[in-house]
Amino acid sequence: MEKQSLPLTNTLYKNSLPKFLVLAGDGVNCESETAAAFLHAGGAAEIVHINRLLENPQQLSGYDGLALPGGFSFGDELGSGQLLALKIRAQLGDIFRDFTARKKPVIGICNGFQVLVRLGLLPFPDAPRAAALAVNNHGEFMNKWADLKTDSSSVCLWTKNMEDISLPVRHKEGRIVLTPGAEKDVYKMLVKNGQIPLRYTSDINGSYERIAALCDPSGLILGMMPHPEAFVFQATNKQRHHNPLEKGAGLQLFENILRYLKGAESDREGLQRHG
């Protein structure tokens, strides 16, 4: 049974808020937490089933950003994110390309990251695929917290000014691999471009150089295996001595992109007033 599109608006703000489309359906199961994260960060979100988006693809252009949450789309048949990526490419490919060409932010979390990579949006849009997400080197599903090191030199707008953090990870196919035979060259390019915003502090799954997340060269498209939406409040902290209502470290990621969008809107309004 399909869920109806659910609008979420932060009533504490009077002005128009940056609004994200949070994709749901076909086995995605973290849409509610992801939408709530944008809400608590000071934005707005709407959960939209992919079939509703297919009925009216042009509706995507009315949003300021797009989120592909975690889950197990199509039960991970034929590989994690594969069938959802094929469905999007076949029926929404042009719409997605137009959306990203307009420099609107996109995030893919866990299964959503796998979809972005299979769509070719990461790490280098409009170029041959240079990365993939493979089965963890220990062959097991992981459900644990992972310590992450942030890269202050990364161009990623989502992770700007973030300190080292710990976030939950829940995946079996989360090991980042780069183009066979050209790993070093691809890695050098990623480092040069500042496209590796997060790394694991230890080798938890065999990811190349402990990479936990990748962004595109613009810093607007982010894919990550850890779940920031699962640590919006201290209530979910693995250490129980915190005030449960205090902000969790994952919230800053959503605050960052909303701050960017609000700043971009202010810049546009200023140009219109003085144009």
Q: Is 229 a catalytic residue?
A: yes
> Among candidates 114, 130, 124, which has minimal Cα distance to 225?
114
Active site residue 227: yes
Which run of H or of E encompasses 200?
Answer: strand 198-200
Beta-bridge mates of residue 65: 20
Selected catalytic residue, list 33, 46, 173, 229:
229
Q: Which of 40, 49, 171, 227 is catalytic?
A: 227
Active site residue 163: no
Q: At what angle do helices 251-274 and 31-40 cross, to 10 degrees?
A: 60
Q: Which of the residues 110, 156, 173, 255 is marked catalytic?
A: 110
**If 0-12 CB within 10 Å is exposed, 13-18 middle and 19+ buried, where does residue 67 land?**
buried
Query: Which pair of structure tokens corresponds to residue 47?
Result: 């959960």
> Closest Cα to residue 216, out of 113, 147, 134?
113
- Judge contact between 107 and 197, C-beta under 8 A: no
Residues known to be catalytic? 110, 227, 229
